[in-house]
Amino acid sequence: MSSFWNAYIFVLTGIFLLGIIGLIYFTRRMPGDDKIGETTGHKFDDIEEYNNPMPKWWLNLFYITIVFAVGYMIYYPVGNWEGISKWTSANQLEAETAAYNEKYGDIYLRFLDTPVEELQNNAQAKRIGQRLFVNNCSLCHGQNAQGYYGFPNLTDNDWLYGSDADQIKHSINFGRMGQMPAWKDTLGTQGVSAVTEYVLSISGNEYIESQAKKGEVIYQQMCVACHGAQGQGNIALGAPNLTNNIWLYDLPEQELRRDIMTTVMNGRAGNMPAWKDILGEEKVHLVSGYVYSLRN
């Protein structure tokens, strides 16, 4: 905090406290004062204000609050003054986090020896995994892991990077980044159109036959390396299967043909963050178990 604000807080609080003390001093009335019983002259609607001393208990409460305020400023940090307690919110958080970890840390650790495949058989492990998922993953993958445009559905049979426990855990630990190149410059709009019709044809959608024929030639040259000769995909690269009619990039309100064209024209780079350092090994293990249990 700058020294200006530091002084500002001290001076303002000081003036305020002195003002309160002054107010009490100048308006004090002792029992036995000769003015007792007089009115102040204020009168409204036949109600008159008497000039009586404050009740003792009330006045004492007032003194206590002043003493409290001064004590508070000495005990707690104000501006650059650390206070005799040396309290800071960061320290408090640290202490609470340490206590939390001591209490719950082993709840996560307890399951580290259970294989990912078997975590779903333990109700507690599954519940914790699900909670971790809702808190960390649902933003992108959806509350029920059903996915959305650009974010894979984790409850279906279609896996970009494989559905084995190890593969799922690897996806979560280290993140993933699928790299689909852009073909606009190489193929031109006509080439992209043609190969789009071919992709529509191998995925069981309506297509234009003459175009698809041309597209197949392009596909066999440009796309097989990643998507495979039959369009079955490649989990080593995260290249999706193009034959099962399950799409990563398919806006509900848009024709599929246009989604595929956009993908092939401009390329894609879906980015799954790495969680190893954020969640730690034991939580990645538990959330892997939950994702594994969603496999269909």
Among residues 160, 287, 171, the alpha carbon closest in space to that of 235 is found at 160
Taking the least distance from each CB to ligand HEC, the nearer of 73 and 152 is: 152
What does the alpha-carbon distance between residue 157 and residue 176 come to, in Å, rounded to a whole number?
18
Shortest distance (Å) from residue 214 CB to ligand HEC: 12
The two structure tokens encoding residue 265: 């024209």
Taking the least distance from each CB to ligand HEC, the nearer of 7 and 177 is: 177
By the 10 Å C-beta count (0-12 exposed, 13-18 middle, 19+ buried), 276 is classed as middle
Q: Which residues bind ligand HEC (CB under 6 A)?
A: 133, 136-137, 139-141, 150-152, 154, 159-161, 168, 171-172, 176-181, 183, 195, 199, 219, 222-223, 225-227, 237-240, 242, 247-249, 260, 263-264, 268-273, 275, 287, 291
| 47, containing H or E segment | strand 47-50
Shortest distance (Å) from residue 202 CB to ligand HEC: 10
Taking the least distance from each CB to ligand HEC, the nearer of 126 and 268 is: 268
Shortest distance (Å) from residue 276 CB to ligand HEC: 10
76 φ, ψ (degrees, to nearest 5)? -95, 160
Taking the least distance from each CB to ligand HEC, the nearer of 161 and 207 is: 161
Sequence-ordered alpha helix ranges (H) in the chain: 3-26, 56-75, 89-109, 123-136, 138-141, 165-174, 184-202, 209-222, 224-227, 256-266, 276-279, 281-294
Instruction: Say which DSSP state 119 is in.
Output: G
Taking the least distance from each CB to ligand HEC, the nearer of 108 and 178 is: 178
Taking the least distance from each CB to ligand HEC, the nearer of 73 and 241 is: 241
β-pair type (176-177, 39-44): unpaired
Shortest distance (Å) from residue 112 CB to ligand HEC: 17
What does the alpha-carbon distance between residue 235 and residue 159 come to, in Å, rounded to a whole number?
8
Shortest distance (Å) from residue 192 CB to ligand HEC: 8
Shortest distance (Å) from residue 217 CB to ligand HEC: 11
